[in-house]
Structure 1
Amino acid sequence: MTKFLLSVHVLAAILAIGPITVAASMFPRFVRTPDADGDGPPGQNLRTAGLLHRVCRGYTVLGVAVPVFGVATGARLGVLTDAWLLASIALTAAAAALLLLVILPGQQRLLPPPAAAVAVAGDGAAESRRAGAARLAMVTGVFNLLWAAVVVLMIVRPGSTTGA
C-alpha cells in the first residue's frame, strides 16, 4: 500500500504541479502585450494568457491530491514528525497560499473582460499591465523555488535513515 500511495503522490506532483509551474511562468509574457508578437491576430496573446490561467486554475484542483497522498504516504512510513517532512509541509502550504492568494487572483486581474480582449489598451493601461506582469513573474518564481525546495527535501530527506 505504501508503494501505491507514494506512486500516486509522485504522479500527482508531476502531472498537476508541473503544468501549474509551467503555465504560471508563461502567463506574464503573454499578458504583458495584448497584441500578438509578429503576424498573429490582434488579442492573440491575451487569449493565450487566458488559456494559461484556465490551466493554472484547473490543475490547482488536481494539485490537492499531492499533499493528500503525501501525508498518507508519510503516515504509512511513520515519518510525519520528521523535520524534513514538516519543512516540506510548510513549504507546500506556502506555495499553495501564493498560488491561491496571489498568483491566480493576479492573473485574473491582468486579464481583461472577454469582450475587451481584442480592444487596444491605452499607454497607461499597457504600462500598468506590464508592471503587474513583472510582479506576477516574480511571485511565480518564488512559487517555483518553493516547489524545487520541496522536491530536494523529498529526495534528500535530511536526518532520515534512508536519506542520501
Structure 2
Amino acid sequence: MNKFFLTIHILAAILCVGPVTIAAGMFPPIARRMLTAETPDAGGLEILHRITRVYAWASLAVPVFGFAVAGGMQVTGEAWVIVSIVLTLAAALVLAFLVVPAQSGVLAVAGGDAEARAAVVSRAKMLSMTTGIFSLLWLVVLVLMVVKPGHHNG
C-alpha cells in the first residue's frame, strides 16, 4: 500500500505542483507587459490565474499522500520530514496569501485606464519575487525528499 501512496504522492507533485509553479511564474512578466501596454489584453493572465487557483487546490493531494507515505515508512518524526512539512506549509501560505491575491489585484485593474494599471506595476514586480520564493520552497522540499538527510533506514 505504501508504494501506491508514494506513486500518488509523486504523481500529484508532478501534475499539480508543477503547473501551479509554472503558471504562477509566468504571470508576473506577462502582467508587467499588459500593465504597460496601450491596449491591454488580460486573457492570458486570466488563464494563468485560473490555473494557479485550481492547481493550488489540487496540489493539496501532495501533502495528504505525503503523510500517508511518511506514516507507512515510519519516518514522521525525522528532521527531513518535519522540515519538509514546515516548508510545504510555508509554500502554501505564500501561494494563498501573497501570490493569488496579488494576481487578483493585477487582474482587477486590467480593464482600467493607464493610470490605474501603472499604479500596480510595482505589485507585479513584487509578484516575481514572491513567486520565486514559492518556487524555491518547493525546490528545497524536493531536495529533502530525494536526499533525506539523516535518514538511515534504507
2:35 & 2:56 partners in 1: Cα distance?
28
Residue number in structure 2 paired with 1:61: 57
Equivalent residue for 2:40, pick from 39, 43, 57: 43
Give the TM-score of the pair, scaled to structure 2: 0.92
- Report the AA paired with residue 77 of structure 2: T
Deviations 1:82-115 (A, max 9, x none): 00000000000000000011111110011036xx
Q: Give the % identical residues.
A: 42
Deviation at 1:36, TM superposition (A): 9.6
Give the TM-score of the pair, scaled to structure 1: 0.87
Segments of 5+ residues of structure 2 without an aligned counterpart are none
- Is 1:133 equivalent to 2:124 in the alignment? yes
- Report the AA paired with residue 134 of structure 1: K
Partner of 2:152, secondary structure, is coil
Residue number in structure 1 paired with 2:31: 31
> What is the root-mean-square deviation of aligned Cα atoms in Å?
2.0
Equivalent residue for 1:87, pick from 83, 86, 92: 83
- Is 1:9 equivalent to 2:9 in the alignment? yes
**Contact persistence 1:9–1:67 (CA under 8 A):** yes
Residue number in structure 2 paired with 1:96: 92
- Report the AA paired with residue 17 of structure 1: V
Q: What is the number of residues matched between the two proteins?
A: 154
Residue number in structure 1 paired with 2:146: 155
1:64 & 1:35 partners in 2: Cα distance?
32
**Contact persistence 1:80–1:86 (CA under 8 A):** yes
2:105 & 2:64 partners in 1: Cα distance?
30
